[in-house]
Amino acid sequence: MRSSWAGATTPGCSCVTESVHKSAPAARLTNWLVSGPPFVFLLLFFVMPGIIMVLASFRYPGEFGGLAPLTAADPNTLQGVTLETYRFFFSDPIYGRVFIKSIFMALATTLICLAMAYPLALLIARSPKKSRDLMVLLVILPFASNFLIRVYAWMIVLGPQSALSRLVNGFLQGLGMEPVHLLFSPFAVLVAMVYVHLPFMVLPLYTNLEKHDPSLLDAAQDLGANAWQRFWRVTFPLSLPGIFSGSALVFIPVLGMFAIPDILGGTGDMLIGNLIKEQFLGTRDWPFGSTLSIMLTIAVLLIAWLAARLAGKRGSYA
Amino acid sequence: MAQLEIRNVTRRFGDFVAVDNVSLNIEAGEFFTLLGPSGCGKTTILRMIAGFDLPDAGQILLDGKDLADTPAEKRPVHTVFQSYALFPHMTVAQNVAFPLRMARRSPAEIDRMLREALEQVHLTDKADAYPHELSGGQKQRVALARGLVNRPRLLLLDEPLGALDAKLREAMQVELINLQREVGVTFVFVTHAQVEALALSHRIAVMDQGRVAQVDEPSRLYGYPQTRFVADFIGHLNQLEAQAVEVAHGHLRLAVTGLGEIIAPSTKDAVAGGKGVFAIRPEQVRIGMHGELDELKNHFSGVVHDLLYRGDVSVYKVSLANGAMIEALLPNSAPGKAELFEVGDAVKLGWRHDAGMFLRD
């Protein structure tokens, strides 16, 4: 994603020139001391597991979980490297369908979050400075309670005996329609997904909108733009960086989420996250679980690349 | 009928009266400046003309029509903001074309007017650049082009030169004068910089605490300020407590503290015995050696107390025999020799009988 115009820095900013003035070896040592530990951390806990995952996807599953040995004395045991998991993935269309369903769920969650978060973020950004901090605090307040408890709470809200369910079904009955189950349905999953991820959309949007120069709106109005035009021609295009980072923060975790469909989804509502979790904790097929994870990563990268290209075409002012 | 009429306009913010019963008439094609210190109400007036603020009392009429019910986006009035307020996500061409698009002009018309406007400010080759790629002066010119492109009835300019450095500011002043002459649009300019106001304007309204202190042409404002505030605010002045001794036809005789009796030009409201200040600009005070300047009606002996060498001019502070301290400005016209007098030199100061002014309390 491109940086916003405001963050556009010229090459060779003061920080660089300063370090040039210092004696070179001392500066280099400082650089290593500062950036070394996080670098090692990322290497150990992100790059290494990633490599292990890729390697594991080309192995056979072990008899009791884990991986089969690379070489074994007994020729009847599974051993060596194989493309079996990938063949399996592409041979059964059910996996592709789960992927597409998951991507649609993530897309729907992202769009609903965006539609709900944008007016909220705009409201906060245009409130007096004093009340802004309080409102931001209220947005992130749900994080203070446990994620699982908040998801379980939706079981009560959406359960068959809940006021909401009775209201909806009473209404449907009045129309002469069959009653519906709110809980254990894709609907319940979507509602909880939106609920859990909404703050991740509000915060980047607010951070972006709050930085907008109010004189731009004055200028637009002065030059003949009505309220609607001021939004679509000034506020909205300037907020695209916020929209993209918020969307990434919602889309990616939703795509891998397994807890919410586990708790609130029906038996048929399996998403990629559940599938992957099942491979590691249920069927104990590590190689196939790794393959699914790699496919998920590729899907996310593809979508991110596509979004970046679209963003690049729209706002090349960065 | 004036193009813009401001009739008894008052604007309050809580207990603070930002604009206090102001009336102004601005003629078509005029370069009119509202000049005053910060907080004098000049920007509030500009915002009310633009439509961002409404008067609590009074009327603003454009071409005889009351603007009260016309929202900012419908007024044929455009503003050049102090910060330029260029749209960062639009190119120069898109910025300048913005008001044309909002006015729903045809593509052919937009194309033509955009090209004309960019030519006017010499930015044709920057049409596809983004604001962050431009220098301060270029941004300024984009803002001007954007404000003028849709031919508003009025262009309001809110301290537009404030963000530029001194050299560029002077160059932009010349450009601004030429541009205004070329397009013929009425300019209403707001500034606290009196030099800028004097250089640019056809007429200036000096404002003080929400009121108009004086409206006049620059030379009259500088030469004949009507109040002590205006005299103080515009340019530099020697000011001495004085009392009118005799009011005659064409001149006054004043008793000036630290100076004695002098002859000064008459003012219409002076009465014998009236108190006030005698004020004279440093460049009107002549400085010479002993025995010189005797032909002038007002001349005094003194000693050079301080000397400020400024390159083009030297400022001498001379303490006079009777106690007054007077500043005199001398252009350094002789090559190589800047300082004609040294600190401690005995000198003569003098000025013409029609120089200086008596400002009543």
Q: Which domain holds residue A196?
A: 90-314
For chain B, the residues whose C-beta falls within 8 A of a C-beta of chain A are 50-52, 71-74, 77-79, 81, 83, 85-90, 98-99, 102-103, 130, 132, 146-147, 150
Higher per-residue confidence, B337 vs A53 = A53
Between CA B189 and CA B200 the distance in angstroms is 9
CA distances from B336 to B158, B264, B333 (A): 42, 36, 9
pLDDT of res. A12: 40
Of A109-123, B55-69, B309-323, which gets the smallest average pLDDT? B309-323
- Residues in B closer than 8 angstroms to A212, CB to CB, are none
pLDDT band at A3 (very low <50, low <70, confident <90, very high): very low
pLDDT of res. A176: 87
Please tell me which residue of chain A has the smallest CA distance to B129: A317
Instruction: Quote the mean pLDDT of chain A.
Output: 86
- CATH architecture of the domain formed by B236-360: Beta Barrel (2.40)
pLDDT of res. A19: 45
Residue B17's Cα: distance from chain center in Å? 23
> Based on the structure, what is the number of domains in chain A?
1
CATH superfamily of B4-231: P-loop containing nucleotide triphosphate hydrolases (3.40.50.300)
Q: With 80 as the cut, is the pLDDT of residue B194 above it?
A: yes
Q: With 90 as the cut, is the pLDDT of residue A84 above it?
A: no
pLDDT of res. A68: 82
Contact A180, A168 (CB under 8 A): yes
- Burial letters B248-273, b for 16+ CB under 10 A, else e: eeeebebbbebbeebbbbbbeebeee
pLDDT of res. A22: 57
For chain A, the residues whose C-beta falls within 8 A of a C-beta of chain B are 5-6, 8, 213, 215-216, 218-226, 229, 233-234, 237-238, 315, 317
pLDDT band at B333 (very low <50, low <70, confident <90, very high): confident
Instruction: Quote the mean pLDDT of chain B.
Output: 91
Q: What is the pLDDT of residues B245-293, one digit of tens each?
A: 988 888 889 999 888 888 888 887 778 888 889 999 999 999 888 777 7
**What are B317's two structure tokens?**
């502070």
Mean pLDDT of A133-155: 91
Is B88 in Cβ contact with A238 (below 8 Å)? yes
Mean pLDDT of B30-59: 95
Is B88 in Cβ contact with A219 (below 8 Å)? no
Identify the CATH number of the domain in which residue A207 sits.
1.10.3720.10
Q: With 90 as the cut, is the pLDDT of residue A79 above it?
A: no
Task: Characterise B356 by phi-psi region: left (phi > 0), alpha (psi -120 to 50), beta (else).
Answer: left
pLDDT of res. B62: 96
Q: With 60 as the cut, is the pLDDT of residue A117 above it?
A: yes
- Residue A80 in any domain: the answer is no
Mean pLDDT of A186-202: 94
- Residue A54 in any domain: the answer is no
What is the percentage of chain B residues whose pLDDT exceeds 90? Answer: 63
- Residue A250 in any domain: the answer is yes
Higher per-residue confidence, B344 vs A202 = A202
3 state SS of B12:
strand
Mean pLDDT of A283-294: 92
Angle value at C-alpha A11, between A10 and A17, nearest 5 degrees: 110
Give φ, ψ of B230 to 5 degrees: -65, -45
Residue ranges, comma separated, of all CATH 2.40.50.140 domains in chain B are 236-360
Q: What is the pLDDT of residues B105-134, one digit of tens each?
A: 999 999 999 999 999 999 999 999 999 999
Q: With 60 as the cut, is the pLDDT of residue A147 above it?
A: yes
Quote ipTM for the complex. 0.84
Give φ, ψ of A140 to 5 degrees: -95, 0
- Residue A17 in any domain: the answer is no
Q: With 60 as the cut, is the pLDDT of residue B61 above it?
A: yes
Q: With 50 as the cut, is the pLDDT of residue A179 above it?
A: yes
Q: With 90 as the cut, is the pLDDT of residue B188 above it?
A: yes
- Residue A13 in any domain: the answer is no
pLDDT of res. B269: 76
- Residue A57 in any domain: the answer is no
pLDDT of res. A313: 59
Higher per-residue confidence, B322 vs B328 = B328
Residues 6+ apart with CB under 8 A from A315: A2, A237, A240, A241, B89
Please tell me which residue of chain B has the smallest CA distance to A217: B85
Of A133-137, B60-64, B205-209, B234-238, which gets the smallest average pLDDT? B234-238
- Residue A162 in any domain: the answer is yes
Q: With 80 as the cut, is the pLDDT of residue B149 above it?
A: yes
Give φ, ψ of B210 to 5 degrees: 80, 0
Q: With 50 as the cut, is the pLDDT of residue A1 above it?
A: no
Q: With 80 as the cut, is the pLDDT of residue A71 above it?
A: no
- Residue A84 in any domain: the answer is no
